[in-house]
Structure 1
Amino acid sequence: MTKLSFLDLASVRINETPTDSFQQSKQLVQQAEKLGYHRYWVAEHHNMQGVASSATSVLIGYLAGHTSTIRVGAGGIMLPNHAPYIIAEQFGTLDAMYPGRIDLGLGRAPGTDMMTARALRRDHQGADDFPELVNELLHYMSPVDEERLPAVMAVPGADANVPVWLLGSSTYSARLAAQLGLPFAFASHFAPDQLMQALELYHRNFRPSSYLQEPYAMAAVNIVAAETDEEAEGLSTTLIQQFLSIIRGHKHKMRPPVAMEELDWSMSEQMMVERTVSARIVGSEATVREQLQAFVEKTRVQEVMVSTPIYDVQKRLKSMEIAMRASK
């Protein structure tokens, strides 16, 4: 059986608000827990009308509060946007509220455009200092000597039981995760080009640590599952429109599916979108099972993070169920 987890951006649909999105995310995380998904992550993005997961740690607390067993975490926190001390306090607090259920994935991009990055009031030279930021965060979350307390201590945060992951869409974080002995997750759901290179580099250079004795890798994949291949292909046009909007520099809310022939895109745009979403699995249960098995055999990942950008919430819940059956 392939271990499945779930990625959510708290997508905002046309004519809806973030309030609606959070209610839908509550349904999704409860479904994920019921079906046996291992973890449920939300990602930090900013200044995007269709994404409501900007206050990531707050949303994690909300979702963890409406579940009881599933791991809930960040996939991820864009660390250059924040002081590591604050993140240690936030996730230490979450761990104190929901012991043993919180994950912290870290990314080095701002998760937004440069104007919004400036509005975040952080020096985005910080992306170049990502290794130092990660080490600082790990320091604040490490155990303390009660006899010699540090001058600056994260409370809560110190000695928190929160696994720290490094996330990436290139080889940079793969190399750093290997060096630090941390688990690694690759964002092949939107940047598949360097997937195999990053995973090979991570496994080859991994150093055992107090965090992890053996390498542990996960890859994110778009999975759109339905009763038939034809229905799934139709539902996947929401994903296509999503990336077409990004390529054009738009920030639209999530759009309903359309007929494939109604997609208004140039040949170059089509090639760009197809390349961006090449790591996708679309189809019936049998098709998903075959393609998921092939993906796991190719990558040798221990876990697959499923992104399911389907407009209709009930169909999204159904896709989650089909994907889980297909993983067994």
Structure 2
Amino acid sequence: MISTMNEQNLRLSILDFVHVYKHSNPTESLNNTTEVVGLADQLGYTRYWFTEHHNTTSQISTSPDLLSVHAASHTKNIRVGAGGIMLPNHSPLKVVENFTLLEALHPGRIDLGIGRASGTDGLTALALQRSHERAIANDFPDQLNELLCFFSRKFPMDHPFAEISPPGDETLVPDIYMLGSSQGGVRFATEKGLGFVFAAHLAPKLAIPVLHFYKNNFNPSAYMKEPKSILAIGVIAAETEEEAKYLAGPLELTWTRMATGSRDLSFPTLEEASKYVYTPQEEAVRQYNKDRFVIGSAANVAEKLKRMANEALVNEIMIADFYPDQASRLKGYRLLAEEFDLKSK
């Protein structure tokens, strides 16, 4: 039986969607990210990842590799990377080339999280992949094998790509993680010996069993000798419970709208969320979504995150960033860094 983690060693990381708030613009959002990743570096957060989403006006995290270049160049210690690269949208060779360059620029600080979905709608996936066949293909296992073989330089001799040489050598490899919100991605992580991140904000009830499966079935590899697992969850931390609940209003309304098929998926303002009147159906969805997030005073959030980490057998929590504005983001991350004494780790 695997022992529980030591609460004193629990690490915190951040997953940035690069939200474009109402009455704001992409440039301001990117400036906000620069400020937050710099603060996270100073406060002792472990890693800072960027999502990949397309065809949305409320996020500008379309290129996590480019955002990682920017974040790494503005920090000194924190690991940066993709959470993740949606592999169906990309050539495995190009992903390897980009992350080899990142690893060469910032040795030992780069992470590559790999997702199996496109991170967008079907039409946009077609526009990205430029092929009807590619858009409907289910060849992720082949894509992942290609990516790992390009990194390791160990294609079978008769493979058509065996003669292709990415830049550098096999030492320029980031830490590689599979992303998952179901029982699918974890099997690639265990079989290939990769790290694993479970998105509990997408499937909270599956988090513990899937993360236990990962720890109990991990096969060591050239990429990772021991299992490395992370639990990702939406977090809103503030000085008081009341303030946190107020700050979580836009998050709760957004996720309720997504679940009920609303066409309005823009991130509402605090004022809009506070005045919104939920229908009975919407209120039921809102309550159902409670397990997707950890909302409260910094002390109570810290207590719950420690309990979740113990139950999930992880020593790292990745905070999915859904704060409603820049001021609450900065304050929330400072409060949690103090609660966890991150600078001492």
Cα distance change on mapping 1:56 and 1:308 into 2, 3 Å: closer
Give the partner amino acid of 2:94. Answer: I
- Equivalent in the alignment of 2:203: 191
The one of 140, 143, 146 aligned to 1:136: 146
Counterpart of 1:200 in structure 2 is 212
**Deviation per residue, 1:15-54 (Å, 9 max, x gap):** 2111111000001100110110000000000011111010
> Does the residue aligned with 1:194 lie in a helix, a strand or coil?
helix
2:224 paired residue among 207, 212, 217: 212
Does the Cα contact within 8 Å between 1:76 and 1:106 map onto a contact in 2? yes
Deviation larger for 56-65 or 71-80: 56-65
Asked if residue 51 in structure 1 is aligned to residue 59 in structure 2, the reply is yes
Root-mean-square deviation over aligned CA pairs: 2.1
Q: Helix, strand or coil for the counterpart of 1:93?
A: helix
Residues 289-304 of structure 1 aligned to structure 2 (within 5 Å) = 289-304=302-317
Relative to 1, partners in 2 of residues 1:276 and 1:131: Cα closer, same or farther, differing over 3 Å?
farther
The match for 2:92 is: 84
Larger deviation, residues 199-208 vs 247-256? 247-256
Shift of 1:142: 1.5
CA-CA distance at 1:311 after TM superposition: 1.8
What SS does the aligned partner of 2:291 have? coil
The 1:35–1:261 alpha-carbon spacing in structure 2 relative to 1, beyond 3 Å, is closer
Letter of the 1:88 counterpart? V
Task: Name the SS of the counterpart of 2:205 in structure 1.
Answer: coil
Q: Which residue matches 2:13?
A: 5
4+ runs of 1 displaced by more than 6 Å? Answer: none
Separation in structure 2 between the aligned mates of residue 273 and residue 57 of structure 1, nearest angstrom: 34
**Local SS of the residue matching 1:48:** coil
The answer (yes or no) to whether the contact 1:182–1:215 under 8 Å persists in 2 is yes
Alpha carbons 1:102, 1:163 under 8 Å: kept: yes
Aligned residue for 2:252? 240
Counterpart of 1:114 in structure 2 is 122
Aligned-pair CA distance for 1:237: 0.8
Give deviations 1:130-180, integer Å, cap 9, x for gaps: 2221111011112579xxx95111125754230110000001111110111
The residue number in structure 1 matching 2:136 is 125
Match of 1:285 in 2: 298
What is the rounded CA distance, in whole Å, between the counterparts of 2:27 and 2:176 in structure 1?
29
| Inter-partner Cα distance in structure 1 for 2:269 and 2:262 | 19
Check the 8 A contact 2:153/2:165 in 1, yes or no: no
Question: Counterpart of 1:193 in 2: which secondary structure?
Answer: helix
Does residue 254 (structure 1) correspond to residue 281 (structure 2)? The answer is no
Match of 1:32 in 2: 40
After superposition, the Cα gap between the structure-2 partners of 1:114 and 1:251, relative to the gap in structure 1 and judged at 3 Å, is farther
1:284 to partner: Cα distance: 1.2
Q: CA deviation at 1:251?
A: 5.8
SS in 2 for 1:62: helix
1:161 aligns with 2:173: yes
Could you say if the C-alpha distance between residues 228 and 77 of structure 1 is closer, same or farther in structure 2, counting changes exceeding 3 Å? same
**Superposition TM-score, scaled by structure 2 size:** 0.88
Q: Would you say the 8 A contact 1:84–1:134 is kept in 2?
A: yes
CA distance in 2, matches of 1:157, 1:252: 44
The superposition leaves residues 222-249 of structure 1 with CA deviations (integer Å, 9 ceiling, x where unpaired) of 1111111000000001211221332335
Identity over aligned residues, as a percent? 36
- Aligned partners of 1:74, 1:274: CA distance in 2, in Å? 31
Would the aligned equivalents of 1:234 and 1:259 in 2 still touch at CA under 8 Å?
no
Pick from 189, 197, 200: which aligns with 1:177? 189
Question: Displacement, 1:216?
Answer: 1.5
8 A Cα contact 1:164 1:183, kept in partner: yes
